[in-house]
Amino acid sequence: MPRKPKNNISGWINLNKPVGVTSNDAVNILKKALGYPKIGHAGTLDPLASGILPIALGEGTKLVPYMMDDDKTYLFTATWGEQRTTDDAEGEVIATSDVRPTEEQIKAILPEFIGTIDQIPPIYSAIKVDGQRSYDLARAGEIPELKPRPINIYELHLVETTADTATFRCICGKGTYVRSLARDLAEKLGTKAYISRLVRETVGPFSLENAISLDFFRETSDKTTLESNVLPVEAVLDDVPVVPLTEQEAMRVRNGNKITFIARPDVERLVKAGLSPKARMLELALLSHNGKALAIADVKGVEIQPVRVFNL
């Protein structure tokens, strides 16, 4: 039997994951639809959550760590009156409260949750405790002791309220657990709460406005149509300076070698890209050759060190 042709597609898919599907299930559906290219996702979404799940293909997987550092926007609904083991609707009720905060009370405390704050992750999370995942310990009946971690909440707005719920929109940095945020909001308001709805609206440059549904990949069999929705590798680096390289420079970078810009025209290239030749701190840059992404590099002054080279 002849071997299937190798699928060399690389880039990103801005996927809108539905409720009820795990992030790994979504990846497997795309693998089957696209012919099993190398695929990974940047930032797990729980089965009860929906929204943006960035999918990396081929050489795009080299940028997953950078994508996971991007800011995110969440729309979430907190249901008052119950605390649950998982801090969402899947868990068992462990505490109750008859207190229902008013709109005015909720708005009054929001400024305390904006900025750099300390947050204790949910016990049902992937945080490691003594080498074991916290959720594994919790499922085994243990209560792992998790330490507070600093997180960044850039914006937190109350969208709407009902008698038993409040819906918020939050823009936050990496490492933020929205389930913990809802839990802590409730504690501050003298009540209990769990997340009953969670939608990730944006991750970095990706948003729901142009996201593709999982059903599209389930129902479409034409490979050309499917691949037309793959964004280029550099799509996740829209705010990173781009430094074009000569053929000789590109050859050195492909071999992982550092290059140094000394001549004035080369230094001017850095300045034109938005980099400072006198910088003492590392800056991130995208290196390109003939208009094609070549590598991600650390730039310090006039020295450029490739850290991820693309085989495109």
Q: Would you state the structure tokens that stand for residue 138, as one six-digit string?
A: 């919790």
Cα separation, 268 vs 266, in Å, equals 5
Q: Which of 25, 46, 239, 266 is catalytic?
A: 46
Residue 87 falls in the annotated catalytic set:
no
**CB of 191 closer than 8 Å to CB of 166:** no
Beta strand residue intervals within 97-255, DSSP E:
115-119, 128-129, 132-133, 149-161, 165-172, 193-203, 206-207, 212-213, 242-244
CA distances from 307 to 8, 65, 66, 68, 239 (A): 22, 12, 12, 17, 18
Cα separation, 264 vs 285, in Å, equals 19
Strand pairing report for 49-57 and 193-203: parallel
Residue 84: name the closest of 96, 100, 71, 99 by CA: 96
Q: Which distant-in-sequence residues (6+ apart) come within 8 Å of 219 by Cβ?
A: none
How far is CA 24 from its chain centroid? 15
Mapped onto helix, strand or coil, the DSSP state of residue 159 is strand
Ranges of H-type helices in the chain: 23-34, 64-68, 103-109, 134-139, 178-188, 214-219, 223-227, 247-254, 264-273
Please give the positions annotated as active site.
Answer: 46
